[in-house]
Amino acid sequence: MSMNEFLSTYGALIVGMVLAAILALSLYLPLMAGQLSLASPGFYALGGYIAAVLSTKVLLQNGQAISPFPVHLLLFEMLLAGIIAGLLAVLVGVLALRLRGIYLALATIAFVEILRVLSLNLDITGGAIGIFSIPQPFTNAIQYLLIAAPLLLLSAAFVYRLERVRAGRALLAIREDELAADTMGINPTFYKVAAFTLGAALASMVGALSAHFLNTWNARQGTFDASIAYLAFVLVGGSRTFLGPIAGGMLLTALPEFLRAVAGIGGLPGWLSQFLREGRLIIDGLLIVLVTIYFPQGLITPDLFKRRRKAAEKKES
C-alpha cells in the first residue's frame, strides 16, 4: 500500500483518534480535581452547532456557504465555541459542582440530555434533521490533522505543565482530600469550576472542528452513549496521568477498525467475524469490565514511568 493509499484509507480514522484523545483530556481536566463530569459530549455538541450555524447561516458569501471554508474562520469558530462553552460551564459548574461523585456524574448526564432535547426542538439547530452541507476547509480527511494534531499537542502540554505548577497542584490537593485542601487555604469551588470550565472549552473546540470534519451535525452528536464512550477512554487509559486518557481515546477509537480488519481474515467462523464487525458496544463494555478488574487504575499509570526510571537508574549504577 502506498503512503497516499494508506492516508486516504485511514486518514479519517487517524483524525478521529486524535479528536477522541482531546475529548478524553477534556474529561481528565475536571478529574484532576477529583470531579467525575460527563458533560463533555454536551459541550462538544454545542461547539459543533456553533460552527455549523456560523458556517452555513452567518459567514456567507453571496448568500452561500464559503467553499473551501477559510482556515482562519474555522479557527475563529473554534475560539468562539470555546469561549461560549466556557461561559456556560461557569454557570453549570457553580450549580452542579456542589454535588459529588456519582451524583455529579448524573447531573452532568442530565445536562447533556437537556442540550440534546433542545437541539432536537430548536429551529436554529435544524431540529431532528440537524445541519448538513457544512463547508469543508480541506479537500481530504487527513488534512484535518493540521489543526487536530497541534490542538492535541497544545492541550497535552498544557495539562503536563499544569500538574507541575501552583494551580494544578491545588487541583491535585482537592482530588486527594478536598477538606484538607480547604483548610490549607485552597478555595475548592473556584478550582473545581475552573477545571470544569477548561474541560468544557476544550470539548467545545473539538466539536467546532468535528462539525466541519463530519460535514453534518445533529442531535446524535452529544448523547448519553458518547458520555459513556468518553468515560471508557479515561477508565481504560487511566486517570492518574494525562497520557492515560490520550492513549485510551486513541485505542478505543481504533479498536473497531482493527477488529473489522481481523474479521476480514479468511477462515474465521461466520458468527465470529460478524461479532468482531458489529459487536462494538459489547466489546467496549467487556473491555471496561476487564480493565477495571485487572488494571483498576487504567492501562497507563504514573508508577509505570517511575518503575522504568528506577530500573534505568539501577542499570547505570
Partner 1 sequence: MSDSTPFLKVNSVTRRFGGVVAVDNVSFELQRGELFGLIGPNGAGKTTLFNIITGLTAPTAGQINFRGQDITRFPPHRIATLGIARTFQNIRLWSNLSALQNVMIARHTHTRVGVVSGVLGLPGAAAEERKTRERALEILELLGLVDRLDERSRNLSYGDQRRLEIARALALEPQLLLLDEPAAGMNPNEKQTLSDFIRQLREQFDLTILIIEHHVPLVMGLCNRVAVLDFGELIALGDPFQVQNDPAVIEAYLGDETALDKTKPRTRVRK
Q: Which of 47, 168, 207, 244 binds partner 1 (CB under 8 A)?
A: 168
Choose the stretch contacting partner 1; rule: CB under 8 A; options: 7-15, 44-52, 99-107, 172-180. 172-180
Q: Confirm or reject binding of residue 33 to partner 1 (CB under 8 A).
A: no
Sole residue written with cell 502540554: 157
Q: Confirm or reject binding of residue 71 to partner 1 (CB under 8 A).
A: no
Q: Which of 5, 62, 166, 317 binds partner 1 (CB under 8 A)?
A: 166
Q: Confirm or reject binding of residue 156 to partner 1 (CB under 8 A).
A: no
Burial per residue of 257-278, b for 16 or more beta-carbon CB atoms within 10 angstroms, e otherwise: eebeeebeeeeeeeeebebbee
Q: How many residues bind to partner 1 according to rule CB under 8 A?
A: 25
Q: CA-to-CA distance for 50 and 211, rounded, in angstroms? A: 9
Question: Alpha-carbon Rg of the chain, whole angstroms?
Answer: 21
Q: Which of 169, 220, 260, 280 binds partner 1 (CB under 8 A)?
A: 169
Q: CA-to-CA distance for 243 and 289, rounded, in angstroms? A: 21
Q: Choose among 44, 52, 31: nearest CA to 122.
A: 52
Binders in 211-250 for partner 1, by CB under 8 A: 240
Pull the grid cell for residue 251.
485505542
Nearer to partner 1 (CB atom), residue 116 or residue 175: 175
Q: Confirm or reject binding of residue 87 to partner 1 (CB under 8 A).
A: no
Distance of CA 11 to the CA centre of its chain: 19
Q: CA-to-CA distance for 290 and 200, rounded, in angstroms? A: 29
Query: Across the strands, what pairs with 61?
Result: 64
Q: CA-to-CA distance for 18 and 5, rounded, in angstroms? A: 20
Q: Confirm or reject binding of residue 313 to partner 1 (CB under 8 A).
A: no
Q: Confirm or reject binding of residue 296 to partner 1 (CB under 8 A).
A: no
Nearer to partner 1 (CB atom), residue 34 or residue 249: 34
Q: Confirm or reject binding of residue 57 to partner 1 (CB under 8 A).
A: no
Q: Which of 161, 307, 309, 310 binds partner 1 (CB under 8 A)?
A: 161
Q: CA-to-CA distance for 27 and 8, rounded, in angstroms? A: 30
Q: Confirm or reject binding of residue 91 to partner 1 (CB under 8 A).
A: no
- The torsion angles phi and psi of 65, rounded to 5 degrees, stand at -60, 140
Q: Confirm or reject binding of residue 312 to partner 1 (CB under 8 A).
A: no
Q: Confirm or reject binding of residue 167 to partner 1 (CB under 8 A).
A: yes
Q: Give me the count of residues in the chain.
A: 317
Nearer to partner 1 (CB atom), residue 85 or residue 232: 85
Residues of this chain that interact with partner 1 (CB under 8 A) are: 158, 161-162, 165-170, 172-173, 176-177, 179-188, 194, 240
